[in-house]
A and B are shown apart, each in its own frame.
Chain A
Amino acid sequence: NAGVTQTPKFQVLKTGQSMTLQCAQDMNHEYMSWYRQDPGMGLRLIHYSVGAGITDQGEVPNGYNVSRSTTEDFPLRLLSAAPSQTSVYFCASRVQENYGYTFGSGTRLTVV
């Protein structure tokens, strides 16, 4: 089992550029989430999905879009990158709402 796969692992963007972070899981989990991790802070929820076709905003959604056309894939789009979006991004999935997450290996994004 691959679990949760994220690509790319590293990315450098210029301010104002857009890009998509890819996330795929092969565990047939309905629940998927995107988090960002910054030094000294806990993981913060950006967007989440409870199933194909259903998405909602988390704690820090501004500047990001998501879609969920299939159970497996949950891409995160940065619309116009800003230096404040420099962070490590994690995609995670879980089988039920009150279960623990399986996390991907992360994407380290730098915006210059």
Chain B
Amino acid sequence: EDQVTQSPEALRLQEGESSSLNCSYTVSGLRGLFWYRQDPGKGPEFLFTLYSAGEEKEKERLKATLTKKESFLHITAPKPEDSATYLCAARGFKTIFGAGTRLFVKA
């Protein structure tokens, strides 16, 4: 059965303390791995799509990477405004979302 698991559930960082969020997936015939950011009370906002193992994409302090079993969202020198829930989703025959990682960045 297709499955997407995100870890940790919550992550507390100090401003400037780099870290990574993990997204493990079990999907037959991966057709895309997606990362979204969701702020409280709002809809998810699209960040990246990765299509094949070894692919990387960057946007400001965020970099997403992909292997055959997992994806990482690396956050370099985070700021308080990076605090949000980060969702990943994997698309095989259908799109499966993980439950998300809540990131808190303290000034």
Contact = CB atoms under 8 A, between A and B. Distances in A.
A12 interface: no
B58 interface: no
Interface residues of B, number: 25
Given A42-B4, A42-B87, A101 B97 contact: no
A42 B49 contact: no
A92 B42 CA distance: 13
Name B's interface SS. strand
A65 interface: no
B42 A106 contact: yes
Contacts of B95: 45
Contacts of B68: none
A84 interface: no
A98 interface: yes
A104 B41 CA distance: 11
Contacts of A41: 99
Nearest to A100: B46
